[in-house]
Amino acid sequence: MISGHYIANIFRSHRALLIFAFLMVGTFQVLIVALVIGADLLGMIEQFFRTLPPQVQYVIGEQFLAQFSVNGAVAFGYAHPLVIVMMCIVAILLPSRHVAGEIETGTLELLLALPVRRPTVAVSLWSASGLALLMLVVGCWAGSAVGLLLYPETRSMPLIKLVEIGINLWLLMAAVSSYTLLMASYVREGGKATLRASGLTLFFYFLNVAVVMSPDLRFLRLFSLFYYHYPQLLMEDGSLLIRNGFVLGAVILLCGTLAVRQVSRRDIPG
Amino acid sequence: MPVIDVSDLTKYYGAVVGVDGVSFAVEEGEIFGFLGPNGAGKTTTIRLLIQLLHPDRGRVAVFGIPLDAPKADLRERIGYLPGEFNPYLTMTGARFLAYMARYRARPPVLRPFLLDTLKLTEKALKQPIKHLSHGNRQKLGIVLALEHEPDLAILDEPTLGLDPLMQEAFYDILRRLHDKGKTIFLSSHVLSEVEKVCGRIAIVRGGQLVALESLETLKQKRPRRLTVVLEETDEPPVLPGARLLSQEAGRFDYLVEGPIRTVLGALAALPVQDVVFPEPDLEDVFMAYYQEPSS
């Protein structure tokens, strides 16, 4: 059901991007720890926030500053827009390029003329995306671990929490990757799949922002995937991982299964 | 038992016809030509055979096994070259062949022979495919399609981009496979190619099969040209079953649509100086079938 050759080929094709993303998210986590310990972080943050527009201060400041602590700041590294954007690029690029993109270029036609089954291709791609995202989460963990080793003052940090936060981040990104795979299985142009998946991801992200900004919209928060990844809260309440895991896991399974079914049934090029 | 057995195959793209009610069979060890103008339905038929497309109606069996049967995967025994061969451009030719071969259980036993015959050098194989000429990419496609010595080769416009010398080399490869009893399904619009290697041909037009014959039968069935030079007359004689096309100072060109015997009988009574009865040209046959019924 899974082709090792196929997965290896995907990693090989995107090795530059994956290595760059791995180093970037890892380095970023080291910097976060260094900032927390090595600088007067709260002072710096307050100074930084004064330079932001009032609306942004309202959106970010209320939640971020209220929960600020050493643990909270390290956790924030797993929800920082830079990390989220980097991981979304990988989560969206891989499925859209290797289903719709390969239909567009004609390489999928060549591959499917070989004795390889369509579900195998779809499941392998799904797995490759999941593994690539796991690699980036491992990058985050490695960065946090290096940071914590460099600064012994942080040894009180419960490492299990970082593992939980990393798992939650992986689930969020695997969900993004799964609905991208589903979208890509219905179109024949890689660009179109990328655009649609990026649009939906931005919609979820800004829906979450809108909910934070406007209490009247709080009832909509359940419909944003980003609501199910809040590392600072998870640092305090580990049971949230079960709820988040249930919702994100359901999205992953549903979209992934539908995508595999659609790849198996569709016409190529169609 | 036919290697390919297609019955009432129908595929529409929305309201646009891909193929409609196509039926034919290809016997084992046959080189079967599949001809038609652009948009006639050749590639659609091939993609249906490879299971890239799903038919709206009809039945396809390959090696006697219906393609819609559960777990019918016959691609191990099939070699396929698409009409537009698009490999992974960033890979080198060597890596591309190695990568694709990993999906097959059959070893690439013919690869050295094919590389040698098609003059695809080691140097060319070490280059990224995006730097290869169109001809070399096409050779790579031929190697990929045939290197595992498939029992059935499905080739869509295989000589596209090959120079005449390489085309001849390719025909030699086909003959060699044919000698080994392999079946070849060759889609082409190159008439000379079909004439050289195919035993039987099917012609499609507008998604429908308009002819399915051996090459010889097809030639004999179609109208033939006849040129008659008569002594001392500018008046064209009336030949039963023949239509006058042109005339010039005692030289008359006809299109013979009726039995040849009748025409020859009529000619015997005339002061004939010369008769030219050329070998039926496949192009005439081809064009006659290609023309829309209204024209």
Position B287 in a domain: no
Can you give the C-alpha Rg of chain A in angstroms? Answer: 20
Contacts of residue A9 in chain B, CB cutoff 8 Å?
99
pLDDT in tens, B142-167: 999 999 999 999 999 999 889 999 99
CA A157/CA A164 separation, integer angstroms:
13
In a domain, B288, yes or no: no
Which SS3 state, helix, strand or coil, does residue A147 take? helix
Task: For residue B71, give the H/E element and its range.
Answer: none
Residue B285 lies in a domain: no
Interface of B with A in 122-181 (CB under 8 A): 144
> Do residues B22 and B41 lie in contact, with contact meaning Cβ atoms separated by under 8 Å?
yes
Tokens of A198: 């990026």
Do the Cβ atoms of B52 and A106 come within 8 Å?
Answer: no
Residue B295 has pLDDT above 50, yes or no: no
pTM of the complete model: 0.85
B149 and B40 in a common domain: yes
Q: For residues A128 and A6, what is the distance between their CA atoms, to the nearest angstrom?
A: 9
Q: Tell which of B12, B43, B52 to mutate to test the A interface (max A CBs under 10 Å).
A: B52
B24 Cα distance to chain centroid:
14
Q: Which residues of chain A have pLDDT under 70?
A: 37-46, 55, 58-69, 153-156
CATH number for B68: 3.40.50.300
- Show which of residues 55-94 on chain B sit within 8 Å of chain A, judged by CB atoms: 73, 75-76, 78, 80, 82, 84-88, 90
Residues B52 and B137 reside in one and the same domain: yes
Query: Which tokens sit at A186?
Result: 């219905």
Q: How confident is the model at residue B186 (pLDDT cuts 50, 70, 90)?
A: very high
pLDDT at B3 over 70: yes
Choose the mutation target among B78, B99, B138, B146 for the interface with A, i.e. most A CBs under 10 Å. Answer: B99
Domain count, chain B: 2
Helix (H, G, I), strand (E, B) or coil at A97: helix
**Closest chain A residue to B71, measured at CA:** A117
Q: Which chain B residues are within 8 Å of A107, Cβ to Cβ? A: 86-88
Average pLDDT along chain B: 89
Are residues B257 and B111 both part of a single domain? no
Q: What is the ipTM of this complex?
A: 0.85
Per-domain boundaries in chain A = 4-265
Cβ–Cβ contact A109 with B under 8 A? yes
B133 with B214, same domain: the answer is yes
**CA of B127: how far to CAs of A144, B58, B98, B143, B272, in Å?**
42, 44, 14, 16, 65
Residue B294, C-beta contacts closer than 8 angstroms, at least 6 positions apart: none
How many Å lie between the alpha carbon of B91 and the closest alpha carbon of chain A? 9
More confident residue, B23 or B222: B23
Ordered DSSP codes for A153-207: GGGGS-HHHHHHHHHHHHHHHHHHHHHHHHHHTT-S-HHHHHHHHHHHHHHHHHH
B233 and B209 in a single domain? The answer is no
Nearest CB among B76, B90, B144 relative to A115 is that of: B76
Kindly identify which residue of chain A lies nearest to residue B141, measuring between CA atoms. Answer: A110
**What residue ranges in chain A does DSSP mark as E strands?**
none
**Is residue B210 a contact partner of residue B290, using CB atoms and an 8 Å limit?**
no
Q: What mean pLDDT is predicted for residues B29-53?
A: 92
Exposed e or buried b for every residue in A229-239, given b needs 16+ CB within 10 A?
A: bbbbebbeeee
B180 is in which domain, residue-wise?
4-219
pLDDT at B76 over 80: yes
Q: Are residues B163 and B228 in the same domain?
A: no
B95 and B202 assigned to the same domain: yes
Q: Is B294 part of a structural domain of the chain?
A: no
Residues of A in contact with B104 (CB under 8 A): 114-115
Q: Are residues B211 and B268 in the same domain?
A: no
| B293 found inside a domain | no
Instruction: Please count the helices (runs of H) and the strands (runs of E) in chain A.
Output: 14, 0
Contact B52 A112 (CB under 8 A): yes
d(CA A22, CA B91) in angstroms, rounded, equals: 24
**What was the pLDDT predicted at A153?**
67
* Residue B177 sits in the same domain as residue B43: yes
**In whole angstroms, how large is the CA radius of gyration of chain B?**
23
- What distance in Å separates the CA atoms of residue B135 and residue B153, rounded to the nearest whole number? 20
Token pair for residue A226? 């980003």
Same domain, B43 and B74: yes
Q: Residue range B79-107: average pLDDT?
A: 95
Q: Does residue B206 share a domain with residue B146?
A: yes
Nearest partner of A63 among A72, A54, A74, judged by Cα: A72
Residue of B74, B103, B148 best to disrupt the A interface, most CBs of A under 10 A: B103
Could you tell me which residues are beta bridge partners of residue B217? none
Q: Which of B202, B219, B236 is the last residue of a domain?
A: B219
Please say if the pLDDT value at position B127 is more than 80.
yes
Query: CB neighbours (10 Å) of residue B83?
Result: 16
Long-range contacts of residues B276-283, Cβ cutoff 8 Å, at least 24 apart: B276/B226, B276/B227, B277/B224, B277/B225, B277/B226, B277/B227, B278/B224, B278/B225, B278/B227, B279/B219, B280/B219, B280/B220, B280/B222, B280/B224, B281/B225, B282/B191, B282/B194, B282/B195, B282/B215, B282/B218, B282/B219, B283/B191
Note whether A57 contacts B: Cβ–Cβ < 8 A.
no
B188-201 pLDDT, tens digit per residue, is: 877 778 888 999 99
Q: Out of B219, B234, B259, pick the residue that ends a domain.
A: B219
pLDDT of residue A59: 63
d(CA A66, CA A191): 41
> What is the rounded distance in angstroms from the CA atom of residue B22 to the CA atom of residue B209?
6
In a domain, B291, yes or no: no
